[in-house]
Amino acid sequence: MTNPPTPGAPAPEPPSVDEPTEVREPLPPKPDQTGPETVGPTGQPTGADRARVAQSGAYLTTAQGARLYDTDHSLKAGARGPVLLQDHHLREKITHFDHERIPERVVHARGAAAHGVFRGYGTAASVCRAAFLAKDAETPVFVRFSTVLGSRGSADTVRDTRGFATKFYTSEGTFDLVGNNIPVFFIQDAIKFPDIIHAGKPHPDREIPQAQSAHDTFWDFVTLHTEATHHTLWNMSDRGIPRSYRMMEGFGVHTFRLVDADGGTTLAKFHWKPKLGVHSLVWEEAQIINGVDPDFHRRDLADAIEAGAFPQWELGIQTFPDTPEQTFEGIDLLDPTNIVPEELAPVQPIGLLTLNANPSNFFAETEQVAFHPGHLVPGIDITDDPLLSGRLFSYLDTQISRLGGPNFAQIPVNRPHAPVNDMFRDGMHQTAVHRGVAPYRPNSLDGGCPFLAGADTGAYIESPVRVPEAKKEREAPETFADHFSQPRRFWLSMSPPEREHIIGAYTFELGKCYEQAIKERGLKVLANIDPVLCARVAEGLGLPAPEPTVPLADVAPSPALSQVGRTWPVEGRIVGIVAAPDGDLEGVRAARSAALEAGLVPLVIGPTGGMLDADGGDPVAVQRTFVTARSTEFDALLLAGVPARGGDANGVRDAKAGDAATAARGVDPRVLLMVSEAFRHAKAIAAWAGAEGALEAAGVPLDAPGVVVADSGERALAEVLTLLPAHRVWERFPATL
Ligand code: HDE
């Protein structure tokens, strides 16, 4: 036992640790993190002051640049005495820390972002004069993905709409396309936005549930307010739980007005089409991930970019003649609860987005980025969609409280890459030192500067669209009153497994409501979409299925809405390879290199960390252990001789085929869990080197679709490569429809 220190005596010297005593230069930034504070991803200066880049100097200083000799001890009157108020460094350090947080976004608080580049195809030239859409024009971009309801620290894979906001730093000023991964919205008029958000957010008394729609207030609102039906149905479909931000579509939602070089106008809807296809999680998977890896989407995006698997989307437009009615094939283009099926108006590709750099600093970039649907460039104009009109007000307003004043456009990530010469002056957080004496127009003192652009180069040149002769009123147009035919089209466009998932989602969400009246009202809404959907959810809730209150709409399905039945590139998909220390390591090596060759990300899973080299070959690094791995991380699972409980690889092989009970006793239970989950979640599974015993032990029939027993690691991977393009083995989902 050590003696207690004598009161008043200085503390004994701490034991020596390897602290650097020499001043040294900081480590260089990681390769994908060369300070976008001062240069953008394409090397262009952002205008930020190099000298203010954090940790760029050798000496620790105060905010005023005075070098510090101690930052670990407060100034005290004696080592055991009171702390002195005169300690400037203590007060400055703690005060700054106290103010490190800013208000989170009122919606879309949880997000992840990346830098990239957009290349125009030139194919939009006949309808839009925007310079960034010209052939081979390259424009730096910053994209932020988000969930809507949850707080900043909430989990990624909750059932929710995802934001997909893109800032194009174009030569003609910044254009923001602030979209979602769902092409319709809950409400038709911005004045209802606080209502839907108050209903979706946690209950004001207990502040629960976090980042969930499965609660009474949400369902209370969306069942009373039936224009929300279409968006809610998308949320309850697989689209509400994307597999990855990289595998989501994006939509501008509203109809925009494009303007060509001669002033001609065309109505258009924007679409982002992911090169990797549109893929989703299954509900159980999403729930597991929320516990196991709440940062799943954020990690996935950053890892892919760091690994050089740059995600890509094509930007496309659906175009419609700009007629006074602003309808297309009977669909009201100003109603944001409507889509126009791609079969009626094909999406025409106009450019390619590539995300190629992770942010260097989450707060400076992802948190401080400020989007605004009113940030438009010449060639892109708004329409009278009443939802869009309200947004044009909201975004500027919210940034002022969130980012602390009107000068947020000076924050590096928000700085336009086009020259800025506004006459906005002063205000909180002004960082510019403006020169001249005449920030007003007209002036003679600053030589009359700045001058106005001509109508041919200026932005915000309103198209001379006729405003209908009208009286002031608080009314929606009659065409906004059909709330069920578009949801019915969506339901009819789904494949049987996708319909099953929708039924499961409604049954879960309404089942989580306490109020019987809300459940019953929910069923009434479903009856107007489809009787089978309604009957199945009613059965799950133990309630009678009501009759529809409107005639069921006679609409054709839109096959483009389904995720099933097409194939996609497999690049970037993650394959788990379960390896035993004395299993077929040569097969593991072969499967691994074949996976890398195919552009997959193989991850070797072993009983413990370290290297596997029992066969004397090249050591195989274990990247996940049975403790750190969970099936949900992988798109497919390979098993090469499975270590038994206690690490005996042979235990499995000895107890294989036909003797599932013995095998189950022998196989490590964490492997069994991985296999049974991967099977339930309809993932490709391949086994070799005796590992089929583990499949049987996990209750996986060897002749089930998408289950492969191969004779080598290479063969197993080859078979998996034929299954992955469909993303899941869809036949494996129970289909009763
Ligand atoms: Fe937003 N929305 N929104 N929204 N929205 C915000 O702006 C708002 C709507 C969307 O990653 C806020 O900077 C109103 C539709 C995205 O930073 C706020 C209405 C669509 C993001 C706001 C809508 C969106 C936001 C909160 C009804 C898809 C995240 C913080 C009229 C087309 C952007 C902020 C980011 C964020 C208001 C409806 C997309 C409060 C009033 C429709 C992707 O201004």
AA letter at 131: A
Residue 323: the pLDDT is: 95
Q: Could you tell me the distance, in angstroms and rounded to a whole number, from the CA of residue 190 to the centre of ligand 1?
A: 11
Nearest CA to ligand 1 atom 31: 190
If you measure from the C-alpha of residue 187 to the centroid of ligand 1, how many angstroms do you get, rounded to a whole number? 13
Report the catalytic residues. 108, 180
The residue count for the chain: 737
**Binding residue ranges:** 105, 144, 193, 391, 395, 402
Ligand 1 geometric centre to CA of 107 (Å) = 7
Nearest atom in ligand 1 to the alpha carbon of residue 180 is 28
Q: What is the pLDDT of residue 457?
A: 82
DSSP 302: H
User: Among the CATH numbers 3.40.50.880, 3.30.413.10, 3.10.20.30, 3.90.1150.10, which is that of 574-732?
Assistant: 3.40.50.880
H/E stretch holding 686: strand 684-688
Range list of H helices, 457-515: 485-493, 496-511
Atom 27, ligand 1: residue with shortest CA distance: 190
Listed in order, strand segments (DSSP E) in 281-427 are 312-321, 327-328, 331-332, 348-357, 380-381
CB 276, CB 288: distance < 8 Å: no
Q: Whose CA is nearest to atom 25 of ligand 1?
A: 108
**Cβ(703)–Cβ(695) under 8 Å?**
no
The pLDDT assigned to 17 comes to 46
* Distance from the alpha carbon of residue 443 to the mean position of ligand 1, in angstroms: 38
Contacts of 593 (CB under 8 A, 6+ apart): none
C-alpha–C-alpha distance, residues 538 and 712, integer Å: 49
Cα–Cα dist 199/207, whole Å:
12
Ligand 1 atom 20, closest CA: 179
Q: Is 445 exposed, middle or buried (0-12, 13-18, 19+ CB in 10 A)?
A: exposed
Q: Tell the CATH superfamily of the 489-561 domain.
A: Catalase, four-helical domain (1.20.1370.20)
Residues with a CB atom less than 6 Å from ligand 1: 105-108, 111, 144, 146, 163, 165, 178-180, 185, 190, 193, 253, 369-371, 387, 390-391, 394-395, 398-399
Q: Whose CA is nearest to atom 18 of ligand 1?
A: 395
Q: Which two tokens stand for residue 296?
A: 């799943």
* pLDDT the model gives residue 464: 87
Contact 367, 102 (CB under 8 A): yes
Looking at residue 454, what is its pLDDT?
Answer: 84
Q: What residue segments make up the domains of the chain, in order of their start? A: 111-249+273-310+353-414, 489-561, 574-732
- Which of 102, 108, 401 has the most ligand 1 atoms within 8 A of CB, as the residue to mutate? 108
- Identify the residue whose C-alpha is closest to ligand 1 atom 1: 391
Write down the pLDDT at residue 458.
Answer: 87
Q: What is the DSSP string of 422-472?
A: ------TT------SS--SSS-STTTTPSPPPPTTT-S-----PPPPP---
Atom nearest to 165 CA in ligand 1: 43
Q: How far apart (Å, rounded) are the C-alpha atoms in residues 100 and 112?
A: 19
The 8 Å CB, 24+ separation contacts for 449-457 are: 450/421, 450/423, 457/378
d(CA 452, CA 591): 64
Amino acid at 647: G
CB 640 within 8 A of CB 578: yes
Is residue 330 within 8 Å of residue 479, measured between CB atoms? Answer: no
- Grouped pLDDT means (10 residues each) for the chain, 737 residues: 52 49 46 46 52 65 93 97 97 96 98 98 98 98 98 98 98 97 98 98 97 98 98 98 98 98 96 97 98 97 92 98 96 98 98 96 97 97 96 97 96 93 94 89 88 86 86 94 97 97 98 98 98 98 98 96 94 93 94 95 94 94 95 97 56 42 72 96 96 93 97 97 97 82
CA of 395 to the centre of ligand 1 (A): 7
**Regarding beta strands 331-332 and 348-357, do their DSSP bridges make them parallel or antiparallel, or are they unpaired?**
unpaired
C-alpha 396/C-alpha 337 separation (Å) is: 24
How many A from CA of 731 to the centre of ligand 1?
38
Q: Which residues are annotated as a binding site for heme?
A: 105, 144, 193, 391, 395, 402
pLDDT of residue 11: 57
pLDDT at 358: 95
pTM of the predicted structure, to 2 decimals: 0.91
Q: Answer whether 620's CB lies under 8 Å from 612's CB.
A: yes
> Cα–Cα distance between 275 and 38 in angstroms, integer?
31
Ligand 1 atom at minimum distance from 388 CA: 31
The ipTM is: 0.97
| CATH number for the domain running over 111-249+273-310+353-414 | 2.40.180.10
Answer yes or no: are the C-beta atoms of 652 and 603 closer than 8 Å: no
Closest-lying ligand 1 atom to the alpha carbon of residue 369:
17
